[in-house]
Amino acid sequence: MSGNASPPRPAAADLRADCSQCFALCCAAPAFAKSADFAINKPAGQPCPNLKDDFRCGIHDRLRESGFPGCVVFDCSGAGQKVAQVTFGGRDWRSHPETAREMFEVFSVMRQLHELTAYLLECLDLNPNDGETSAALDAIVAVTYGKPAEVLTADVAKYRQRVNELTTRASKKVRRGGGVDMRGKDLMGASLKGADLRGASLRGAYLIGADLRNADLRLADVIGADFRNANLRGANLTTSIFLTQQQLDAASGDGRTKIPERLHLPPHWNVGGGG
């Protein structure tokens, strides 16, 4: 890490994509496999053919109908603008092609570090005086301000393990041991309409296509749960723990779905519609 001063902890806005400050890293760095989410195969490190020279998407206003719903729900957790403006100081990969490969690799690591940062910030919200969480958070934030080589050599697996320990501890404390334990369960397509899931552990559960209409998920731990195409119409997630915007974006819901204040109802939800 360069310099001695501790870098600032990010605000919530710093952990959300700001495409205006990025060089479309998510449209160039990762590989896509042709699927329900992407209409084409795209190798890693190669710009999407829909990407324009000004780093804007040529089909931005018709992504879903063009077969790219995966782009609609993708959020880099603010890694894009961090890499573009901080790590690489505003030098873009088109004007400086010699930086492209390293920039794309840094983006992949940065995204993981930002995700871990968001979880630790929520841990501190849940348990403000936890010194171990503060130390882990500051260590990860420091790496995100490092030079490219420092980011690339970060031991992400070690950080992930530590974050797992700290989020598990915070979760147990907040849930007070209550709720059903459905960690990692295969609940794909499950009928959970109106279910009382208060305080449940749904860590890493597969809820793809599950019917969660009017379910009560307050204080449920949903870290890493897969909500793709889950039906959250009328569900209560106001105090769900470790819920991310990306999880909401991947699900369906409506104006009756209750979510934490820090998140927003996805634009593609039928807000105001019935369930």
* Residues between 15 and 34 with contacts to ligand SF4, criterion CB under 6 A: 27
What tokens does 34 get?
A: 């042709």
Q: Is 232 in the site for ligand SF4 (CB under 6 A)?
A: no
3-state helix, strand, coil in the chain (%, to 5): 35, 10, 55
Q: Minimum distance between the CB of residue 6 and ligand SF4, rounded to whole angstroms?
A: 35
**How far is C-alpha 96 from the geometric centre of its chain's CA atoms?**
29
Q: Which is nearer to ligand SF4, 68 or 206 (CB)?
A: 68
Cβ(41)–Cβ(78) under 8 Å? Answer: no
Q: Minimum distance between the CB of residue 36 and ligand SF4, rounded to whole angstroms?
A: 14
Among 7, 2, 5, 16, which Cα is nearest to 137's? 7
Q: Which residues contact 149 (CB under 8 A, 6 or more apart)?
A: none
Q: Minimum distance between the CB of residue 10 and ligand SF4, rounded to whole angstroms?
A: 24
Cβ(201)–Cβ(175) under 8 Å? Answer: yes
Site pattern 50..89 for ligand SF4 (x: CB under 6 A): xx-----x-x--------x--x------------------
- Region near ligand SF4 per CB under 6 A, out of 49-57, 96-104, 142-150, 207-215: 49-57
Cβ(152)–Cβ(182) under 8 Å? Answer: no
Total residues contacting ligand SF4 (rule CB under 6 A)? 8
Q: Minimum distance between the CB of residue 145 and ligand SF4, rounded to whole angstroms?
A: 27
Site pattern 132..161 for ligand SF4 (x: CB under 6 A): ------------------------------
Q: How many CB atoms lie within 10 A of CB 181?
A: 12
Q: Is 48 in the site for ligand SF4 (CB under 6 A)?
A: yes
Strand locations in 84-126, DSSP E?
none
Q: Minimum distance between the CB of residue 47 and ligand SF4, rounded to whole angstroms?
A: 8
Q: Minimum distance between the CB of residue 15 and ligand SF4, rounded to whole angstroms?
A: 20
Q: Which residues contact 97 (CB under 8 A, 6 or more apart)?
A: none
Q: Is 214 in the site for ligand SF4 (CB under 6 A)?
A: no
3-state class (DSSP) for residue 188: coil
Q: Which residues bind ligand SF4 (CB under 6 A)?
A: 27, 48, 50-51, 57, 59, 68, 71
